[in-house]
Amino acid sequence: MVNFTFFKLDPAFRRLPQADKDQARDQYLKTLEASTGLGMICLSYSTMGLRGDVDFLLWRIAPSMDDFQTQTRALNKTTLAGYLSTPFTLLSMTKRSIYMEGVDPFLGVEDRSHFIPGKRKYLFVYPLVRTRDWYLLPMLQRQEIIDGETRISQLFSGVKLNTTFSFGLDDQDCVVAHETDEPKDFLDLTMELRKTESSKYTHSDTPTFTCVQAPMKDVLDQLF
């Protein structure tokens, strides 16, 4: 299971005495560490100054969605949580793409058992909804279209694609997360993908979140 939860800080928190803010920060950090259970990956990213509606992201991967609820329950008991809202949250699952059948897994293609996020500084996340016409296309035609996208993506080897699936779990079909150390590479890749036939079958791919990976302590120190 994969979860992207975006948080927004109430400005009223910044007006608290510094000692109270420090205490709330330390409590939140300790709770986050203690509640990150066995088998869970929890990565933190700052979006401060990059979007007006969110301040930071927790990207969580766990064996069960119960793990997300257990951790959220613990965090909700902290003082800082009383000043945080969650404008966006995206739920999905890892699943081997049907368009990758027959690909040798030793060529570096990740599947449910090979999902290793967080190796690059920048993360670009968006929910993807395809048109219904896309799913009515013959499988062979869809495969050819995806192969065209893949050929373009291979020209930008510094951008790593993580696609997870949300059918029936959330509003979107997929959650697309690109990781890179060079934002310009992702911009150029996106421009090229706009020219593909696949883009005709995109119903929506917003909002797009630009995120910068940082330890949670640094993320919170930026906020207040």
pLDDT exceeding 90 applies to what percent of the chain? Answer: 88
Same-domain status, 16 and 114: no
Query: Is pLDDT of 111 > 80?
Result: no
CATH of the domain at 115: 3.30.70.1030
State whether 22 and 54 are in the same domain: yes
The count of domains in the chain is 2
pLDDT, residue 37, reads 83
Residue 222 placed within a domain = no
In this structure, the number of other CB atoms found within 10 A of the CB of residue 184 comes to 9
pLDDT band, residue 102 (cuts 50/70/90)? very low
pLDDT tens digits for range 183-212: 999 999 999 999 999 999 999 999 999 999
| In a domain? residue 180 | yes
Is the pLDDT reported for residue 103 higher than 70?
Answer: no
Q: Supply the mean pLDDT for the chain.
A: 92
Domain ranges, residue 34: 2-92
The span from the CA of 175 to the CA of 183, in Å, is 19
Give backbone dihedrals phi and psi of 194, rounded to 5 degrees, phi first: -60, -25
Position 26: which residue type? D
**Least trusted range by pLDDT, from 29-38, 88-97, 103-112, 180-189:** 103-112
Average pLDDT over residues 16-27: 97
Condensed to tens digits (0 to 9), the pLDDT of residues 165-184 reads 999 999 999 999 999 999 99
- pLDDT, position 116: 79
When pLDDT is averaged across residues 84-110 and rounded to a whole number, the result is 72
Spatial contact of 78 and 32, defined as CB atoms under 8 Å apart? no
pLDDT (0 to 100) of residue 100: 61
Residue 99 pLDDT grade (very low, low, confident, very high; cuts 50, 70, 90): low
Let me know whether 151 and 204 are in one domain: yes
Are 148 and 87 within one domain?
no
